Structure 1
């Protein structure tokens, strides 16, 4: 946003300008005050895209000190049942004063819902390990602003673990997707905060109001999850699970409608082979149990979860409680 300022101003002056420029709980340009933080958060929670928790300030219970967000899924328009980006979809959860939302609203929600209180609020981001990897291309822009930068990773994580991880997956033409997949599979969280700043953004123009983002590594993350052995173990478990699924699929062949009818007609004769049938059922059940065990191994491999603080008010062990700009 281009301002009238032609020279730097103080932080109190900047905050006063921001308060004049934006509605409360809408720190972005809008002509519709109903599309505020509550509206956008409701879209993401109602669509099961995120799980979010806001933690109150210890001194002022009415103020959010920091928030956690687990990203469950980033949906394409077809996944949510939209005909096009501007068709309206009703909320699953009834009672909200706005009846529904569009896919454009959904996209905007991912960008605007995290603009809570500049200067003194931070987000703890993580992905659910079951998050679908059919991620729409526009989410790469979200990652550019809110995602971690290369500079915050521990030295060897990108040079060794990430490079080893990429050998196990098809290379993606949209470059951020490789790193997004890495965060999903290895359970890597990060911390993000933002604030307003004045900058000479346009040539021969007054100062512009811009957003600056700060990202931070979570020091309590267990880097052993990204070891060569755990990454290899993770992909071996996926391979074994796929093999079992294929084995179960072959054991239960698909039948054509005519075959189904013949099966129904022969139902009485099949009763005479109960012993053989019971043996087949036990075999299939055994394969299903093996599949369940491998899937459980998949979900828990490389997942020596980070130790968490016993304080239920801060399940992530304390770093979020500090100021977002503290080292």
Structure 2
């Protein structure tokens, strides 16, 4: 993955030209009889929650890479933080074998979040970030199957603060081109940073390539984005040894920002990239209500030129 891609970035006009399939509303959706089950005693209900989540990666080992004769291959490492989605009702789990099955039962088809506004689709949120020039986005398809988007490149250009929004957060702004739902507010903008990246392909194997764009300028980071970073951002365990050394140098020679993770400041300063994907997991403890969570996996980008980020380049850039 690189910024020089044969796949163009999406334009603002492309969103008004798309034909979007809205999810069925509650009134025209047939009742799923599989949701209707005979009652069980509570002692049984919460003890037989699905335990096998079929997660492809189960290790949180700090061993981030393996060496072959030609190059270093970095592995995904699980983020220690998981995002709570909802408590699992008994009806949600009937005949479901995996956490993904539960999510597909509860959410609209092809949605991976809950929203009571049927027009606030993943595309709606994505367009907010593109229309505000917050990101550039470029989906990549499988050459053998153009309908299958395998991964998407995202270049972060800026993060709008409430001051830059310029009005109360509940006031609306209009998109610059036509769209099904023509307006959005700052709360929608905040939600867009999460829901945009909840797109999933038909094989449930989509990944994201994130990078702070070269045009990203030093700015105040909103607190809500720091929350986003804790889930969607990289963790220190994915960093190769040379980058860890550069990170330590950066830490020693810069002042930490209030409540802003040094890793975030480091990635912004060096315009670094990372790869992320997410999946579902069930969290439960004895005598507690089971809940569905989203878990995040990140890794270092194999093709990054490590010579661009060293202790020496850090010291030069800070002069």
Q: TM-score, normalised by structure 2?
A: 0.66
- 1:5-84, aligned counterparts within 5 Å? 13-81=98-166, 83-84=167-168
Total equivalences in the alignment = 230
More helix by share: 1
Greater RCO (Cα-Cα under 8 Å, separation 6 or more): 2
Using the TM superposition, give the Cα deviation of residue 206 of structure 1 relative to its aligned residue in structure 2, in angstroms.
4.2
- Structure 1 distance, partners of 2:136, 2:230, is 21
- 1:96-245, aligned counterparts within 5 Å? 96-117=179-200, 119-132=204-217, 133-158=219-244, 160-176=245-261, 178-200=262-284, 204-236=287-319
Using the TM superposition, give the Cα deviation of residue 137 of structure 1 relative to its aligned residue in structure 2, in angstroms.
1.5
Quickly say closer, same or farther: Cα 1:5–1:219, change in 2 above 3 A: farther
- Structure 2 distance, partners of 1:58, 1:9, is 38
Q: Which has the larger radius of gyration?
A: 1
Quick check: 1:45–1:51 contact (8 Å CA) kept in 2?
yes
Q: Give SS of 1:218's match.
A: coil
Using the TM superposition, give the Cα deviation of residue 232 of structure 1 relative to its aligned residue in structure 2, in angstroms.
2.2
* 1:319 corresponds to: none
* 1:85 matches 2:169: yes
- Structure 2 distance, partners of 1:10, 1:146, is 31
Q: Give SS of 1:144's match.
A: helix
* 2:177 corresponds to: 94
Quickly say closer, same or farther: Cα 1:142–1:67, change in 2 above 3 A: same
- Structure 2 distance, partners of 1:60, 1:20, is 27
Quickly say closer, same or farther: Cα 1:230–1:36, change in 2 above 3 A: same
- Structure 1 distance, partners of 2:198, 2:282, is 17
Quick check: 1:85–1:102 contact (8 Å CA) kept in 2?
yes
Q: TM-score, normalised by structure 1?
A: 0.65
Q: Give SS of 2:145's match.
A: coil
More strand by share: 2
Q: Which runs of 4+ in 1 moved over 6 A?
A: 8-11
Deviations along 1:35-91, one digit per CA (max 9) or x if unpaired, are 11110000000000000011123343222111010000011022132x211110112
Please report the RMSD computed on the Cα atoms of aligned residues, expressed in angstroms: 2.3
Quick check: 2:119–2:180 contact (8 Å CA) kept in 1?
no
Quick check: 2:221–2:260 contact (8 Å CA) kept in 1?
no
Quick check: 2:275–2:300 contact (8 Å CA) kept in 1?
yes
